[in-house]
Structures are given as C-alpha cells and as structure tokens.
Amino acid sequence: MSEHNPIENPEAQGPDSRTLKRVGIGAAVVAVAIVGIGVASRISATNELRQVAADASIPTVSVVTPSAGGEGDALVLPGNVQAYNSAAIFARTNGYVRRWLADIGDHVGAGQPLAILDAPEVDQQLAQAQADYQTALANERLAATTSKRWASMLAQDAVSRQEADEKAGDLAARRALSNAALANVKRLQALQGFTRLSAPFSGVVTSRSAQIGALVVAGNAAAQPLFTVSDTHRMRIYVRVPQGYSAAIRPGMAATLTLPEYPGRSFDATLTSSSGAVDAQSGAVLVQLQADNRDGALKPGAYAQVRFKVPAGSGNGATLPGSAILYGNDGPTVAVVGRDDRVTVKPVTIARDEGNVVLLSGGVLPTDRVIDTPPDAIRSGDKVHVQAAAKGAAHGG
C-alpha cells in the first residue's frame, strides 16, 4: 500500500482536537460548578451557624400581665402596736439606788413608788439651805424691829426721815434675802423628792434597769431609763398607708388585726386619726388605730397585720407574682417587654408583699408584658424571645 493513499477508516485513529477541546471545557465547567456548590454550601452553613449562635445568645422568657384587685378587696398592711401611754422613768437627781420596789411585769398604780435613791449630797445641800434660811429669817426679824422703832422715833422728831427710810429699806432687802433662801430650800426639797421614783399612771412595768447600789447620774444623755411604765388597757396601732389608698382610709372605719403568736385569732380595731400628710421618703400616710386590750393579749412593740376593707378599685393596685420583682440598689423594679421584644426596666412601688403575690400601687400598666423570673443581669434595651404570654397572677386578699 502506498504512503499517499488516504486512510480508509479515520475514526480508528482517535478523537480529533475539537472533540478534546470540548471535553476539556466541559470538565472545567463541571469542576467550577462543584467548587461553587461547595463554597456556597460552606457559606450557607457558616451563616446558619452564626444565626444559631445569635439566637442562642438571646434569652427566652415567659411573661405575665398585671392583674387588677378584685371587688371589695381587703388591703393588708403591716402595723406597729404600741401602748396607749408609755413613760420612761429617769432619775432627776444624782445618787445611788437604795432599793427597787417593782419589777418587769408588775401592775402598778398611779403614784406607786418604783425605787428609792440615796442622795447624800442633796441631803447636805438641803440642810445648809435650811440653815441659811433661818439666818436670813432672823436678820429679817431684826430689821423689822429696827425699822418699827425708827418709825416711832421719827413720829417724835427724834431721828431724821433719811435715817428712818434707810431702816425701812434695810428691812425690804432682808425680806428679799429671806425669800430667796426659802426658794432655795423648796428647790432642794423638790430635788430630794426625786429620790423616790413613782409611776406616773396605772400600767405595767415593761422594763427595769435599776440595780441596787448602782450610781445614777441625772441629765446624762447616754443614760437608760430606770423603769418604763406602759398603760396597756388600750393599744395604739400605727400603719403607713400607701398614697394610692389614702383616700379610701378614713377615721372611724373598722379594721382587724392578726398577730403571728395568735394564729386563727383576729382583734377588732378602729381607725381614730390620720396624719393627713404623705411622707416624702416612704410615699405613705401614717394613720393611727386603737384596739381594746382588757385581756392583755396585745403587747407593746408587737408586729401585726392590719386588714382594711376598701372599696373596689381603690388605689389602682395591680398584682404580680413575687418572682417578677427585681430588688436592687434602686429599689424594686420589673422588666417589661415592648412590641419590638426589647426590655425596659421600670421602678415599681410595692403596697404589700404576700410572698408569692405582690400588690403594686404604681409603676406598671394593665397592658404591660412583665417578665416572670427575669435574669439578674437583664438591662433596658436587651433583646429577648417571648415564650408565652399568660394572664397575670391571682391577687391575694
């Protein structure tokens, strides 16, 4: 076969250059597509991971809405029980306790002696004052006799009027000195009378610091009272009523007291007076109640829960779970979630705290979404996820 003869089967010689080029281009496109899909997949995974991390950093919270007080709701506030009258008995003169005649818990009558002091210095001062008074009195009598004689001689022109007037003036001076000496005697007698300490009114001795032989210094600012006598036939109860309820609390209204030492028992009381002013620090009005205490069950200084029956809607109060309140240096606050799921920390005023339920007298609205059990580190502007919005807690009586 000649070299110049054409090839009878050209396909047997392999693909031509065009085919190879097409195959190469296709392979490159496939490779680029695979790389692109891989990069896109990695970018998508990275973005998804970032989103998951961002979502995980936003806390999920549950919210409650404030509940209004019920009809004819009872307002329960802490009260401080005090005696109808109470007097701290201090010594009015320096001395030593000779003996004490009443002890704590004793019932004493008005004027009954409680202790007797020894005051030797006062006794000596009184003796000297009495001697000075006798001297002044003797000089006054002599001056009176002299003045009377000179007045008789003046009537007979035996002496000059000037000399008679001098004797009369001397009598007036002696009488003034005598009166001054008498006043000093009475002062020291009164001071000596203070060595006998007596009850100012009928009552119960609630404290005694007098000890036999102890030195008593009158007028010492750091001194303790030797006795305290309290009239407990009736008791005064002092209550601070939040300003929002002050219009519903009036003199003459009835209230009931409960004390921890008498479970299941209540005491009747009547509101007798109100200060009529709002304290700037507490935002409350001080009121006074009185209760009969013939059986002596109520004790001075005791803590009591005072229950008032107030009309429905009084005070614009709202109740929240106790777990929704944050306590910090700025006082009680709540965390409220806005429509954009951003937090706003609001200060609130607590009217009463019943543990699981707290009654607020201001600071929240009925439409607020309040976070239940908020984190301590939560701040205004923080983003949160709201898990559920439930109607607020039931209010206590």
Q: Averaged over 50-64, what is the pLDDT? A: 69
Same domain, 167 and 262: no
Task: Give the separation between CA 42 and CA 39, rounded to whole angstroms.
Answer: 5
For residue 56, the model assigns a pLDDT of: 53
Same domain, 92 and 178: yes
Which residue, 291, 308, 325, sits at the end of a domain? 308
The most distant pair of C-alpha atoms in the chain lies apart, rounded to whole Å, by 206
- Domain with 249, as residue range(s), is 234-308
Helix, strand or coil, per DSSP, at residue 123: helix
Question: How sure is the predictor about 336, in pLDDT bands with cuts at 50, 70 and 90?
Answer: very high
CA distances from 255 to 235, 236, 259, 283, 380 (A): 14, 13, 13, 22, 41
- Give every CB contact of residue 128 below 8 A, 6+ residues apart in sequence: none
Residue 303 lies in a domain: yes
Alpha helices (H) in the chain, listed in sequence order: 17-57, 120-155, 161-193
Q: Which of 178-182, 287-291, 384-388 has the lowest mean pLDDT?
A: 384-388
Q: How many domains does the chain have?
A: 3
What is the value of pTM for the model shown? Answer: 0.58
Q: Averaged over 196-208, what is the pLDDT? A: 93
Same domain, 329 and 362: yes
Helix, strand or coil, per DSSP, at residue 277: strand
For residue 397, the model assigns a pLDDT of: 37
- Which of the given ranges, 23-37, 258-272, 333-347, has the highest pLDDT on average? 258-272
**Is the CA virtual torsion 6, 7, 9, 12 positive or negative?**
negative
Which residues on neighbouring strands pair with residue 227, listed in sequence order?
Answer: 89, 208
For residue 312, the model assigns a pLDDT of: 53
Same domain, 266 and 299: yes
Helix, strand or coil, per DSSP, at residue 356: coil
For residue 14, the model assigns a pLDDT of: 54
Same domain, 184 and 99: yes
Work out the burial of residue 57: count CB atoms within 10 Å of its CB; fewer than 13 is exposed, 13-18 middle, 19 or more buried.
Answer: exposed
For residue 71, the model assigns a pLDDT of: 43
Tally of CA atoms within 13 A in the half-sphere of 26 that contains its CB: 6
Residue 379: give its domain's CATH number. 2.40.420.20
CA angle 213, 219, 224 (to 5 degrees): 55
Same domain, 243 and 295: yes
Question: pLDDT tens across 324-334, in order?
Answer: 888 888 888 99
Q: Which of 30-44, 73-87, 166-180, 256-270 has the lowest mean pLDDT?
A: 30-44
Task: Give the separation between CA 241 and CA 255, rounded to whole angstroms.
Answer: 13
